[in-house]
Amino acid sequence: LFLNHAISRKAKRNKGRLLPERLRPEQRALAKYIFPGGALDDIGHTVAEMELAGFEVHDVEGWRMHYARTCEMWCQRLMARKSEAIALVGEAKYRIYVAYLAGCALAFERGTARLFQTLCSKSAKRPSPLPPTRADLYR
């Protein structure tokens, strides 16, 4: 089984074609300081690529509001241990991560950032390794 836990963005359309996302200043800062070389995909494209790679998708679940709360709590805990954090990584990096976590909490809360968990397995000509319904996954 493969569980993909990924932050994503909303798909963009223009005259029926998907467009690459233009980076806003805060996105450029993320790309430079937090996730160098990283990029956000939309869930539709992610699922399509999984299928093209030979995976069977069993479940997709949105975790946006859970992650909004998670980022908020991480930010609060980081600020509560400011002195220790600065001693470990310096003032500049501390400030970058406080801004990142606070911004992420807002982005997930407002729906401008999304988080999905996608459960899949390698496609096979045999029964699925999973129970037949989502309810069975949580028993």
What pLDDT score was predicted for residue 82? 99
46 CA to centre of own chain: 12
What pLDDT score was predicted for residue 8? 94
What pLDDT score was predicted for residue 20? 56
What pLDDT score was predicted for residue 30? 80
Q: At what angle do helices 82-89 and 64-80 cross, to 10 degrees?
A: 90
What pLDDT score was predicted for residue 26? 75
* pLDDT tens sequence for the chain (139 residues): 899 999 998 887 765 555 555 777 777 888 888 888 888 889 999 999 999 999 999 999 999 999 999 999 999 999 999 999 999 999 999 999 999 999 999 999 999 999 999 999 998 788 877 787 877 767 7
Tokens of 97: 């991560």
What pLDDT score was predicted for residue 17? 55
Query: Which of 61, 58, 57, 60 has the alpha carbon at shortest distance from 132?
Result: 58
What pLDDT score was predicted for residue 10? 86
Buried b (16+ CB within 10 A) or exposed e, 96-132: bbbbbbbbbbebbbeeebbbbebbbeeeeeeeeebee
Q: 2-137, which class in CATH? A: alpha beta
